[in-house]
A and B are shown apart, each in its own frame.
Chain A
Amino acid sequence: MNVPLSWLKDYVDVDAPPEELARRLTFSGTEVAAIRTVGSSFDGIVVAEIVETAPHPDADDLLVCRVKDGRRVVRVVCGARNFAVGDKAPFAPAGCRLPGGRAIGATEIRGVESEGMLCAEDELGLSDDHSGLLLLPRETPAGAPLAEALGPPETVLDVEVTWNRPDCLSIIGIAREVAALFGGKVKLPSVVFREDGRPVEELAKVTLEDAQGCLRYTARVLWDVKQAPAPLWMRRRLSLCGARAINNIVDITNYVLIECGQPLHAFDYDLLADHHIIVRRARPGETMATLDGAPRCLTPDMTLIADPRKAVAVGGVMGGAGSGIRPATTRVLLEAATFDPLRLHRASLALALSTESSYRYERGVDVARVEWCSRRAAALMTELAGATAARGVIDAYPNPQAERAIRCRYGRVRALYGVETPDDRVVSILESLDLPVVSRDAESCVVLAPSFRPDLEIEADLIEEVVRVNGLDKAPTLTPSALVAPDASDAPAQALIRCRSNLVGLGLTEIMNYSFLPAELLDRFTPGETARRVALPNPVSADYAVMRDSLIPQMADTLGRNRFRQVEHAAFFETGRVFLRDDSGVIHEEERLALGLMGAPGRTALDARKPAQAQESFLWLKGILEQIARVQRVNDLAFAPFEHPALELGRTVAVIVGEAPAGVAGLLRASLGAEYRMNGPVAIAEMSLAPLLARAFGAPELKPVPAFPSVTRDVALVAPANLTNEAIARVIRRHAPPELTSVELFDIFSGEGIRKGYRSLAYSLVYCSAERTLTDEDASRYHAVVKNALTSELGVEIRDK
């Protein structure tokens, strides 16, 4: 909200410089985001009288004007239309500069010479209004410097008002804050005017049917209204606050809105059927056109202002198209009301219509001051628009709001604030904010919360008032001491931290993707899973339409994007949640880990150029899974053949922990890889994170370090190429004596000397006893058993040296 200082000073005496004012406001909760100066010395720009206008001979949208600048009459070409002969407007003669720096010269505009420029507000740097010339009062002498007509530059505070303080959405509300901070009293404007017409009850009628939706409705009637531009000072103030001047009647309602925070609506009295206002709920299917011309579909939870024939406004949101002030209007029905904030908020949401009025109503407008604000507007209308006011006001206020008495205990203030605040100080701060303290005792005082402060409900709210006015900076800074809260374990979080650091230690780089992604991406990886997906009813865009049910698509996408950016080798991991819907529609979340490898991340500089092979990529991936399982103390990791729509058939395994499937690992389908222009294998795994975290802090199962030396024997065999390493190792383990402590594959060979379709595998077997030193004979005996088993069970050929 913009607060022009000169306007503020109408209601409170304050001499502090703007910077000090801004600082004090900011540090008491009313943040001043900026201090702006509007206006300048307007060097060379004068007030000119328009003495003649004529159409431009060669351009329909331009006028050729003759203007008197005090010394002579000059010709000016002008694009605005909002003026008549005799009007006064700012004139920048050729040779001067506009406040923005633009030089004005004599030019020819479509064949007609123009010796300067008549100015709109934006050209003078006053606002961004370019709707027409800035019209000055007709009594301003032609030739007077513009600075004299407009007065000195204005200082405007740009104030950010928090949601809980609707009272500060007004100049008077800010003045109240300033008065509390700097001392002093708020001076309210005059609301005295002559009510010399007929009683209002004879002229209009108000029926308040929807008393839940509309808490209070007041109506005044004024006639003999003389429409004209509002006085310059009022137009200037509205302009400084970002409101556009329209005519004196509408401008007065806007002025009072900004001044007091009370939205008002001026109806054309003669457009209201029977001069009867009915405040009611909208009927099902009812429609109306609002001021902005848009047709609106209404629902019964909206409060309407209507006459017996038609709706004339969506209460508190926007007026209707056919009942507002028009050029012919001479009689006005002035509405000032309050509406239920929640109902109004819902109406504003449903209509997707937010106005200055609805913005204030949904935060809370002071119900007690409605009538006063109506009087303020009526006083201005009689003073500035020559209106005659009917006697009295129609005031439908069926359920007057009770004032809340709130007790504030001094001890509680000190306990929460941490500052020894004297009792009298507490009371004086509350009173300085216009919060009446109605009683006091030794421990506490009682405040009657005024209706302009809907945010004050409980003691803590009053304590906040004391704290923010007295100053947060006064609270001491206590050095924190540690606390051990019982029953507080964060082992899962700590296990994740350990797991992450272990993954980094294994050479993986962590990535992070959004939790939502385009449905199309999921379709490419896991088609047919759509029923289990969680789609967002109101996504920001199609790119973020569905919650991820797998980390694989984004992992592939990330690798692809890096590949596209000329990154050759990468080893990534991501931990994150996936979202799955079960058959009954309940959404489940699961923490997952994804791994992704491309290029030759496991190799070093000297052999990085050799292209990665499918087998090699897979084994890197598998190795990482095995290693992370090991350091996270998972000792029952296994793999089994598996299928996954995004992974290559026959090159994919299920990751199994204990007996339970925990995830999948494999090579990205070549067709998907091709979409990302991958030129080599891409290995991807995804598994549930829980099994990796469950035992992270468990003690290892210790085995004694061998006390006796071991004996190592190798065995090489030739086997069909489709006989797996695991099958061979399993036979070795099953038949070897307990003294076998490890089996390690150390060579694979095919080619020269080996039949086609076969390969040679060489294993190193270590035998060791816990009781004695094994002899050569022992080892030979054990080894013979193993070799026999291999030939008899698998039919492989043992290669002896």
Chain B
Amino acid sequence: MLIGLELTNYALFSHLSLGLTAPDVAALDDLSAVGEFYPLGQLSAIVGKNDSGKSALFAALGFLSDCLIHDVPFASAAGTRGGFAALKTHGSEGPMRLSMTFRKDRETFLTYSVGLDSDVHNRPYVKDEDVLLTTFKDGKKETRTLLQVAGGEGKVVARNGEESVAMVDRRHLSLGAYGRLLNYADLCWIYAQITRWFIASDDTEEEPLTGHTKGGHRHVSPRFDNIRNVLEYMEREDPRRYEETLAYIRERVPDFKRIGDAFLDHGQRSGSKRLFSLLLLLTDPKPRPLLCLDYPDQQMYHDAIDVLMFEIREYLRRHPTCQIFLTTYNPNTIEALRPGEVYLFERPEENSSVKVHAVGRSEKVRAMLKEGIGMASIWYGGYFEPEPK
């Protein structure tokens, strides 16, 4: 599980800190104190005014994932990203830094930190990269460096000891190399996490369409444009499961008529199609570790939102190590959330840095919810914002 992250000098985040971050792991004395750092849980919802950076967070995760799967220059230019110079915070000094904290199991924390910068020609390169493993065994805390690379050189820890690292170029992340080799088990684990993130947001809109190719697709694509292919695959692979899944979804999508060409060819814009696609995504037997859904409740009637939120809860219950991040400004969605799941993004002035407030920290919010006041009313009353000092 991704329990925390830090972004430095990425787009409008000069510094963004969410959940339990790398410095927090370093400061952690005891597993019982984890809650005090408000780690990200299975469901995290980001609310905030327009242009407060909500979608930019998903873009950052997508960027990191692409850097790992491909390389930094490719990732910087892919889709609508516009190159590294456009991604790095304007006027920032120092490299861009992306830091992810994972909790692999109750006692095991892995942090992955990447520093990226560009040369005089604005060509991006990997400045530094490291992976730290922190374990708590029998109350004893141990931290080991599994990977440490700077300037293209460093060291990595394999099963049988330490090895030196020498990258052929500065375009590729070392994790991209070692994470593909089973001999480096923990690095493989992190690589599998990050590269399997599902980022459904407007940033992915410009990518080549996958849906117009023929044939079965196993998984729903982040553009939600291969529904037909996924259904085809499912029908061929396991007809019984196919019928069951369709019946399950049909019962839950209000106004569902039948799956015909007309239904499937409507763009993602239609609320019913959107709900259908999301429910199909949630039935995936091999779910992704993290789904990032940008305004999944767009254009959805309130009863459809109730269905979506329930199915999200059920999905997370079935898959205790899976996570969903979503952005929203719909009161019906917010009504279905708990304080600990909500993060408010604020950008006080147009060019200032984004501030994050974990609503779970507010005793007032928790107390009001306990007394039966709904989250939407609490939000309307402005209680998601931090208290004035």
A and B associate:
no
Instruction: Give the interface of B toward A (CB within 8 A).
Output: none
A: residues with CB less than 8 A from B are none
